[in-house]
A = this chain, B = another copy of it.
Amino acid sequence: MSAHYVLTLGCPDRTGIVARIAAFLSDAGGWITEAAYHADPDTNWFFTRQVVRADSLSFGLEELRDRFATLAAELGADADWRVSDTAQPGRVVILVSKEGHCLYDLLGRYAGNDLPMEVRAVIGNHKDLESITAAHGIPFHYVPFPGPGEDKTASFEEVRRLVDAEDPDAIVLAKFMQIVPDWLCERWAGRAINIHHSFLPSFVGGRPYHQAAERGVKLVGATCHYVTAELDAGPIIEQDVIRVDHSDAVTDMVLKGRDIEKVVLARGLRWHLEDRVLVHGNKTVVFH
């Protein structure tokens, strides 16, 4: 597939924005292959994502970025815009613990070239997933964490150092099972993606399948969301559910839920990497 540039922008809504952006691209000779818009009537905010063929423009990525920055400023977008190049796969770091289903799934997709990403490193607070990571030729960093109630700052600082060294576009918490401290949530805002094994806002926090079994629900779910300081309350990117019934013990729910966790995380990550997700307050606009 030939290279494309992806432009996204969020700004106050008013008449003529679509025309301004379209004219901007048209004047540059841009061949638009995808264009999506959304106007939120509640907040009066406008969102767009445009994809143009790189070879249709008479100039390169940096020039496009400069020009679009000017337009974005005029439209009042502040920092809320982005231009990326589909020829540059997103840089990804994955955080794991012991449970491997999400990592195995992501690595399988990586091996099959199914996601536009380069996995730079996997970081684990246990060594269980070191060998499969190595089998894929990816560096694995083991960062031991102290037990419950002890100060985890040093461990998180080490994780931060390892993550930031890769300058990642996405930090994926693939069943990391550690609550990220506020200062790190803030630092990674808009880039740290978590998979929670419930249909949020149901069953926030620990042992959601146990909570689900206790309540007797007929579906269990999974939620992919951006990590924010408030636990399991960040902007939701994607959710899905799978049917369970009275015959499913918690262990069965865990097993069935994994299939949903894997696809929900993979979809959320894909959309993030393809710049399809625009965050607005605590909600997302997902152009898919």
Chain A residues in the interface with B (C-beta under 8 A): 15-16, 18-23, 25-27, 29-42, 56, 99-101, 104-105, 107-109, 111-112, 114, 131-132, 135, 199-203, 215-219, 221, 235-241, 245-247, 249, 255, 258-259, 263, 266, 282-286
Determine the chain B residues whose CB is within 8 A of the CB of A245 once the complex forms.
286
Least Cβ–Cβ distance between A210 and chain B, in angstroms: 11
Report whether B258 and A114 are in contact in the complex, using a CB–CB cutoff of 8 Å: yes
Interface of A, secondary structure class, is mixed
Report whether A218 and B202 are in contact in the complex, using a CB–CB cutoff of 8 Å: no
Given contacts A23-B22, A37-B32, contact A104 B111 (CB under 8 A): yes
Least Cβ–Cβ distance between A273 and chain B, in angstroms: 13
Determine the chain B residues whose CB is within 8 A of the CB of A247 once the complex forms.
34, 38
Determine the chain B residues whose CB is within 8 A of the CB of A101 once the complex forms.
108-109, 112, 114
Determine the chain B residues whose CB is within 8 A of the CB of A40 once the complex forms.
246
Question: In whole angstroms, how far apart are the Cα atoms of A29 and B219 in the complex?
Answer: 36
Report whether A283 and B100 are in contact in the complex, using a CB–CB cutoff of 8 Å: no
Determine the chain B residues whose CB is within 8 A of the CB of A42 once the complex forms.
249
